[in-house]
Structure 1
Amino acid sequence: MVDQSELEDFNAVNILTVHGSKGLEFPAVFLVNLVAQRFPSRNMSDSIPMPEDLIKEMLDKKMSQEEAHIQEERRLFYVGATRAKEKLYLSAASFYGDAKTKKKPSVFLYEILDRDVAEEFNFEKGKVSIDGYEGQENTSIIPKEVKIELMKNFSYSQLDTYELCPRKYEYAYVLRVPQKPNASLSFGTTVHNTLKDFYTLLKTSKEGIEGIVSEPTLEELLKLYNKNWVRAGYDNTKHENMKKEQGEKMLKRYFERIYSNDEAPLNLEESFVMHLGESTFAGKIDRIDLIQEDNGVKQVCIVDYKTGKVKKEADIKKDLQLPLYAIFVEEKLGYKVVSAQYIFLEEGVKIEADISQKRREKAKERMVEIIENIKARDFHAEPDMFKCGMCDYRTVCEFAKT
């Protein structure tokens, strides 16, 4: 038997599953059986299907079991395709064995070629050596270069990803290699939706809507938490239950230490778009609180929730998010932003952000610089043991440090 670690240098044809090829590279790679129901394979779902409303993709987009399966198969296809150093052969047939039903080409062929291959899926064009007669090479199916168009719409999450590692940005937003649902994303979605619903109750009570008199309680906060719980991405039931319990303690701490019924939420989950020449920058502000009104101008505080660890002071000082959001709030909503806060829920810490005019200008300059770098296709890697260890693309990135 050849050890897995020796496969890459073993002078022979290696027949591997896609899973088995992770972390390896070869001069030439053949991906075969690229037809529907083989790659992607059929979704062999459980006899007791999981309710679709328990499976959510990022930003509250629901994903069915079938869609989740296709995403995972697409990720595997990308892993296989990126094992090739020099040549990649994509193989499919109209018929396999004694089958009488004609196969359709895999949807992944359409995606990687970025063109309609149905017209090319004609085996009369493919010439091979038969009985000593040499055929001619046919290269008309696969273009020499596939140009992937860059998107023109950007979000804070995209800018933050680029700041972390430009190569990760390329995987996530240019090549669009799917990521598995992860616990951190699901937990963050749960908490953000919970606090939005909770502050909606507070806002409604302050507006004096008939039938709602009292302000929301801790019990109501926890009920909303259970209602908004997203199950996708956890390792197992034990992991999910442990994280859910941690979240309950976190929200109790938030209610007792940070929440005040004097808060006056004006806007919740406020979405916006800023136009920057041919590009746009979009964002969503978790909460905008009214501080006071002066000569008809609302003076406000903008709030952003964080479910991760408290950032270092140096990282908070150079963070782009709230300075950019402050620009939008004043330009588009007509409010005067007098303060901005990051609330780190896990540790119950509230930190003021620098939104001075100087900081806003620097943040906008950096945003424009990042967008220009993306347009110039500057996707260099910035490998780091910690960052790479947490990255979903570490198995396909040649620069990953793990």
Structure 2
Amino acid sequence: FVHGGVGLFDPPVIRYLVALLKGLQDPADGVSLFHLLSHPMWGIPLEDLIELNRRAKAEQLPLRRLLERFDGKGADPLSAEAAEGLVRFRSELKRLERSVRSGMPALIRAITEQSAFRMLFLLEPEPGGEDPLAALGRFLRFTHQILETMPEARQLDAFLWIVESAIQSGVDPSETGTPPDPNRVQLMTVHQAKGLEFDWVFLLGMEQGRFPARNRPEGIPFPLELMKESLPKGDSRLQEERRLAYVACTRARRGLWLMTQDRAYHRPSPFVKEIQAGAQKHVRSLPSDGSGAEGAAAPVPATAGGLALEREVLQILREIRHLPETDEAGHQERLRRIERLTAELRAASVPPPAAVPAALKAEARYSFSQLDSYRDCPLKFKYRYLYQIPVRPTPAMNFGTDLHVCLEAFYRQVINGRIPTLAEMEETFRRSFQPGRYGAPGQEQSYQQAGLEMLRAYYRSHDGRFEAPLMLEQPFLLPVGETRIKGFVDRIDPVEGGGVEIVDYKSGRPKEKASAEEQLQLRIYALAAREVLGLDPKRISFYYLKNNRKLSFEPTDAELEETRAWVLQTVAQIRSGDFTPAPSPFKCRFCDFRNLCPASQA
């Protein structure tokens, strides 16, 4: 599959080039540095890279600083291959760092003409991939255009800001994409398909509420009094959606498939009904697997057997198209063949379990954050916790940490019999608020002001009735099967009538309700309170500091056992070595590893 054609930043060689530019601009960017070092051209074994990450974490040093101290001599636990590759890599990086000061044109020339990195563009293309030189050519045209129109982009930091903005926008800034391969499926939006034609077109999501989309109010309504043209009569939004549907349907040269569903809460698009009513031939619907949902076949590995099965399926579809409508037996026979081949394709798509390298053996202890990371995306978990690629805390994470530190210090004094004043609470927060951890200076001031306002509201709402917690920042190590779950509980309060309440502070957006998945963290804390601390958790609560409100639940024994089962299942999946990525445009956009990950949809 090709998602929207091959974008400017999609080829692996361009991802690597962007990582190189980021590493030169910011020596503390551990993700980009790991991306660079992991390329086979340096010959550094994965186990050695993981050891470097562990050492950087233990010494609380950026990976780049650690490399500067490495000389490749003496008693070092790294392999000889790693030592040789690190010395070569550091030498090339230092040479390019001198070119950074000369501006982007000189830096690009140094990378593509003088450094060892130029070998990247001379490699053979990956199967089905774009030629690295062609990808470089497109990137260089884009760079030239930016430098011609925006002179300030001659500095690396400004150029990278433009690149990152283009990547996050999802719009391909190159003048032309690579020509579509007729043997591959092009997956794109209707807008991306304008001006293109294909032999066969499949329109997905032709259901009410999706196409046409639900009517949403404009984010910034246009004042009607400023509009010079007269408004169209009727539902202009529906008319525009109908024009889009026309564009989509007319992309097909030989055949058009409309993929819809007809079941409770999911009805066919009115456009499908209009097309059926106006069609000269009857539109035949293939039966689904009984779920009523659109089929989503698992990806098939590019093996000879898998490709042969795919070709057979396509041949059957061609036969169905040319069968007379009255030949019911012929249709049923071919549908049975498709069902059989579908089962074979699914079986072929399951890869054999890969051996987990010794350096990736699962730990015996996990935190909720680690398990939640695996649930969100197994490959992200692998990068973050097994490869131990260093990532920097975001401003929001630093902000939350500072609020936690302030509230802990405040309640420590309450436990000791003294209630600090509001001015003392504010001063504690100011002392923990360290400049340089919250983005730009303007953003830094906004975070500090927001934190002070939250703490003032919290203090005033509790003034005169501050009660001493039972425990603060309480560590625990919870046995679950053969593993242990580690963590800290923000606050444990006694409850009138017996038992305790577990409180977890949240500095992010408040919620009115929380799903079972969102309660997993608190339920793990409840299990730990009951089984490790010997307490009776009557209530578990998220405390949202933004609106100064609690969202509370009363955990049942059944819910806690379900949580235990989830922990066991997640740990088993981690230990099986299954790190299949779970990408989505929204998740990938905010992922630290979006430029490194081959499955990224950012």
TM bin (shorter chain): 0.5 to 0.7
CA distance in 2: counterparts of 1:146 and 1:181, whole angstroms = 28
Query: CA RMSD of the aligned region, Å?
Result: 3.6
SS in 1 for 2:583: coil
Counterpart contact for 2:480–2:567, Cα < 8 Å: no
Which one of the candidate residues 36, 41, 50 is aligned to 1:88? 41
Counterpart contact for 1:186–1:232, Cα < 8 Å: no
Q: Read off the aligned partner of 2:444 and give its amino acid letter.
A: E
CA distance in 2: counterparts of 1:6 and 1:160, whole angstroms = 29
Partner of 1:265: 469
1:119, distance to aligned residue in structure 2 (A): 10
Partner of 2:528: 328
Partner of 1:381: 581
1:308 partnered with 2:508: yes
CA distance in 2: counterparts of 1:244 and 1:329, whole angstroms = 34
Counterpart contact for 2:477–2:487, Cα < 8 Å: yes
1:286, distance to aligned residue in structure 2 (A): 0.4
Counterpart contact for 2:16–2:35, Cα < 8 Å: no
Partner of 2:455: 251
CA 7–374 in structure 1, closer or farther in 2 if over 3 Å, else same: closer
Partner of 1:364: 564
1:149 partnered with 2:350: no
Partner of 1:117: 80
Structure 2 residues without counterparts, runs of 5 or longer: 1-6, 45-69, 86-355
Higher helix share: 2
1:105 partnered with 2:72: yes
Counterpart contact for 2:415–2:468, Cα < 8 Å: yes
CA distance in 2: counterparts of 1:176 and 1:271, whole angstroms = 23
Counterpart contact for 2:513–2:551, Cα < 8 Å: no
CA distance in 2: counterparts of 1:8 and 1:351, whole angstroms = 45
CA distance in 1: counterparts of 2:578 and 2:424, whole angstroms = 48
SS in 2 for 1:339: strand
Counterpart contact for 1:105–1:118, Cα < 8 Å: no
CA distance in 1: counterparts of 2:383 and 2:16, whole angstroms = 26
1:5 partnered with 2:33: no
1:220 partnered with 2:221: no
CA 106–216 in structure 1, closer or farther in 2 if over 3 Å, else same: farther
Counterpart contact for 2:541–2:550, Cα < 8 Å: yes
Counterpart contact for 1:303–1:341, Cα < 8 Å: yes
> Which of 1 and 2 has greater Rg?
2
1:348, distance to aligned residue in structure 2 (A): 2.0
Q: Read off the aligned partner of 1:364 and give its amino acid letter.
A: R
Q: Read off the aligned partner of 1:186 and give its amino acid letter.
A: N
Counterpart contact for 2:414–2:466, Cα < 8 Å: no
CA 328–119 in structure 1, closer or farther in 2 if over 3 Å, else same: closer
CA 326–18 in structure 1, closer or farther in 2 if over 3 Å, else same: closer
Counterpart contact for 1:301–1:340, Cα < 8 Å: yes
Partner of 2:399: 187
CA distance in 2: counterparts of 1:377 and 1:311, whole angstroms = 35
CA distance in 2: counterparts of 1:269 and 1:203, whole angstroms = 13
Structure 1 residues without counterparts, runs of 5 or longer: 23-39, 45-67, 92-102, 123-144, 206-211
SS in 1 for 2:433: coil
1:81, distance to aligned residue in structure 2 (A): 3.9
CA distance in 2: counterparts of 1:323 and 1:219, whole angstroms = 35
Counterpart contact for 1:323–1:363, Cα < 8 Å: yes
Q: Read off the aligned partner of 1:104 and give its amino acid letter.
A: D
Q: TM-score, normalised by structure 1?
A: 0.65
Partner of 1:202: 414
CA distance in 2: counterparts of 1:259 and 1:155, whole angstroms = 34
Counterpart contact for 1:301–1:341, Cα < 8 Å: yes
CA distance in 1: counterparts of 2:543 and 2:15, whole angstroms = 52
Q: Read off the aligned partner of 2:80 and give its amino acid letter.
A: V
CA 349–157 in structure 1, closer or farther in 2 if over 3 Å, else same: same
Q: TM-score, normalised by structure 2?
A: 0.45
SS in 2 for 1:221: helix
Partner of 2:33: 77
Q: Read off the aligned partner of 1:225 and give its amino acid letter.
A: F
CA distance in 2: counterparts of 1:326 and 1:377, whole angstroms = 29
CA distance in 2: counterparts of 1:218 and 1:338, whole angstroms = 31
1:379, distance to aligned residue in structure 2 (A): 1.5
Q: Read off the aligned partner of 1:194 and give its amino acid letter.
A: C
CA distance in 2: counterparts of 1:399 and 1:198, whole angstroms = 45
CA distance in 1: counterparts of 2:432 and 2:590, whole angstroms = 26
CA distance in 1: counterparts of 2:494 and 2:371, whole angstroms = 28
SS in 2 for 1:338: strand
CA distance in 2: counterparts of 1:237 and 1:293, whole angstroms = 49
CA 115–270 in structure 1, closer or farther in 2 if over 3 Å, else same: same
SS in 1 for 2:410: helix
1:387, distance to aligned residue in structure 2 (A): 1.6
Partner of 1:19: 20
1:237, distance to aligned residue in structure 2 (A): 1.8
CA 256–175 in structure 1, closer or farther in 2 if over 3 Å, else same: same
CA 392–321 in structure 1, closer or farther in 2 if over 3 Å, else same: same
1:258, distance to aligned residue in structure 2 (A): 5.6
1:199, distance to aligned residue in structure 2 (A): 0.8
Counterpart contact for 1:271–1:283, Cα < 8 Å: yes
Q: Read off the aligned partner of 1:326 and give its amino acid letter.
A: A
1:380, distance to aligned residue in structure 2 (A): 1.8
CA distance in 1: counterparts of 2:480 and 2:405, whole angstroms = 30
1:318, distance to aligned residue in structure 2 (A): 4.5
1:267, distance to aligned residue in structure 2 (A): 0.5
The Cα offsets for residues 185-227 of structure 1, whole Å up to 9 and x where unpaired, read as 211110111000011111111xxxxxx4xx2222222111112
Partner of 1:127: none
Kindly, what percent of the aligned residue pairs are identical? 26
